[in-house]
Structure 1
């Protein structure tokens, strides 16, 4: 999720990105704040001020920017807490519904996951207190300090909802994992997340709030993706590329025709092959890239650039790299020599087998 975006800068060594949806939501949020400025002033008990021309929008833009900067600091709290446990953050992305800190992995130890999860809300509550202490009682500074105190408090509380991938869902799973297997804790956290999402969506429909409905949809879909990623990481834990790859793969010469390739694919029940000439890997060719190909043409015409892996790479990192670049297979090299091919089918088979084993352990021993 959120792989695309505009690179902004590095903050404490962490790349910060801006998703393109942010460019749409920021001016819309600024307009929404500007149009409701009298209501905000009344809510905060501030004197009503007559603002005309571009000033309401500019004030709304400052408030919206402050909100997203607060979200950035919230995500930075997660990143720094994870760094304390030796877990790097690949990137922080600001997007339509806030921000996402993409950690290299979620801590397996429940207490570590608990502290990483609560770090973000703690930052939000600290910012809310700071702006409340710095609040002014009039003018633009008065509105901004009151607004940012309120939104940081709301941000912290909302993220503590017990639903994955929100912080509260991670806290709930970590607390469950203190006394039961992580797999079982993840499944129970997913069940609660789905219930919270449905309740949030129904409430949003009742009060006619499309933002709450959108958030409910996001929580529902993201909770499933989060749980699936957790199960995948646990199922592939400890496995390396060398454990799953097909060793000594069939390599084809670049002069082979497409028709001959199709014959070999049927014979060996393989959908893709590395193409090698004089010991040098030229690329890969797969059935998915041969639509409309001339059967008499050499396969060299339809080569695709390969993704190279090492036998010592972890299975999970291999899957992530293949998914990021859209590859269905990767070539495994050792000291420049082709030693294997790893396909998504190999990874899926390992995931299914290990997950069945984990599920059996999760249920505990049967009656003996």
Structure 2
């Protein structure tokens, strides 16, 4: 599986890649500095005498920051474990500047399943907080001040993480629970709009608090909450529209690609003739990959005649004429390719579908939806 841009894979869980976003490298020292500045106050809250911790405050701040993201990782692993146990597919877990995300192949179709999958993360965090809180109570009075402080801090971090994610707004888990509760009555799109609107309200509240308290990290959280709410709303609307349109109506018809055994000079002329930046590579009329203008340009003009398409092509994805646009878009995203080759019933090339085709299809679907609204047709069936 290709690495996602801006991330570094650091491990895996049940075959699911665990990645760290580069923004986390910026967040860790900032969080460490913030925690170190409040270390003495935190020690007093944990009932640890002044000076009993030892070590540099910045080192403790870094340890707390790392503990926070380990807690986030356990939270996301709970989501992933539940999804995998119930037949779901997870493409990865990514830790970012404001937390983590489990990348699902698809939102569960039953609202109840989505609610349960969203709930296991906060419950895991709150469960860890409870267990760590009990252990903290057990070691209290034994003079193990460093252990007591570490346990108390991790308990508090997990408690905050659990409560924060239960806020009833996107992109937090509570927003997914709200959507799952509303979907049977409102349908997926309208339920998502409600949860996303709540997300915007919380984003504004975080932003105002960040300005009042002069806390830049809270402002960053506000920004990511707002972007997450907007992104979720856009994705669900796009899904609802594209599921109504077949690939055949979206694609650019194309019966001929670039044959596997042709030279890069032939690919150069084919791309120029079609006025496109990429074309599918075919073998006996069946698509097996694609070749790009950039790959052609990377070969010196004098050498293109002796350099074969098979040496420069990239792996591609395939969609069928009868499939819907959302399925094709998912295949494109999962394979991380800029286009999919569309095949007929016999597996022969029938066309190509790229983001421009999908955008045009979305525009037509939105216009059709507006027309249905004017004529009184229902826009969405509730589950």
Give the TM interval when normalised to the shorter protein.
0.7 to 0.9
Residues 30-64 of structure 1: per-residue CA shift (max 9 Å, x gap): 34323322111122232222555x44344333322
1:1-368 to 2 correspondences below 5 Å: 3-50=5-52, 54-135=55-136, 136-137=139-140, 138=143, 139-237=145-243, 241=247, 244-251=250-257, 255=265, 262=272, 264-265=273-274, 273-274=279-280, 305-312=313-320, 315-316=325-326, 318-320=328-330, 322-323=332-333, 327-332=337-342, 337-355=348-366, 365=376
In the alignment, is the contact (CA less than 8 A) between 2:192 and 2:232 conserved in 1?
no
In the alignment, is the contact (CA less than 8 A) between 1:274 and 1:284 conserved in 2?
yes
In the alignment, is the contact (CA less than 8 A) between 1:258 and 1:299 conserved in 2?
no
Residues 213-237 of structure 1: per-residue CA shift (max 9 Å, x gap): 1111111112111221222233333
Tell which deviates more after alignment, 349-358 or 196-205: 349-358
Tell which deviates more after alignment, 173-182 or 302-311: 302-311
- For structure 2, the 5+ residue unaligned runs are 379-383
TM-aligned CA deviation for residue 6 of structure 1? 2.1
Query: Aligned residues, how many?
Result: 362
CA distance 1:186–1:238, shift in 2 (3 Å): same
In the alignment, the residues of structure 2 paired with residue 4 and residue 257 of structure 1 have an alpha-carbon distance, to the nearest angstrom, of 31
In the alignment, is the contact (CA less than 8 A) between 1:257 and 1:295 conserved in 2?
no
In the alignment, is the contact (CA less than 8 A) between 2:318 and 2:340 conserved in 1?
no
TM-aligned CA deviation for residue 22 of structure 1? 2.5
In the alignment, is the contact (CA less than 8 A) between 1:235 and 1:354 conserved in 2?
yes
Scaled by the length of structure 1, what TM-score is found?
A: 0.80
In the alignment, the residues of structure 2 paired with residue 280 and residue 296 of structure 1 have an alpha-carbon distance, to the nearest angstrom, of 29
What secondary structure sits across from 2:17 in the alignment? strand
CA distance 1:58–1:13, shift in 2 (3 Å): same
Scaled by the length of structure 2, what TM-score is found?
A: 0.78
TM-aligned CA deviation for residue 257 of structure 1? 9.3
Residues 136-162 of structure 1: per-residue CA shift (max 9 Å, x gap): 335111111111111111111111222
CA distance 1:329–1:297, shift in 2 (3 Å): farther
Tell which deviates more after alignment, 24-33 or 324-333: 324-333
TM-aligned CA deviation for residue 319 of structure 1? 2.5
Q: Root-mean-square deviation (CA), in Å? A: 3.9
CA distance 1:298–1:319, shift in 2 (3 Å): same
In the alignment, is the contact (CA less than 8 A) between 2:332 and 2:338 conserved in 1?
yes
In the alignment, is the contact (CA less than 8 A) between 2:210 and 2:218 conserved in 1?
yes
In the alignment, the residues of structure 1 paired with residue 277 and residue 7 of structure 2 have an alpha-carbon distance, to the nearest angstrom, of 33
In the alignment, is the contact (CA less than 8 A) between 1:41 and 1:47 conserved in 2?
yes
In the alignment, the residues of structure 1 paired with residue 267 and residue 135 of structure 2 have an alpha-carbon distance, to the nearest angstrom, of 74
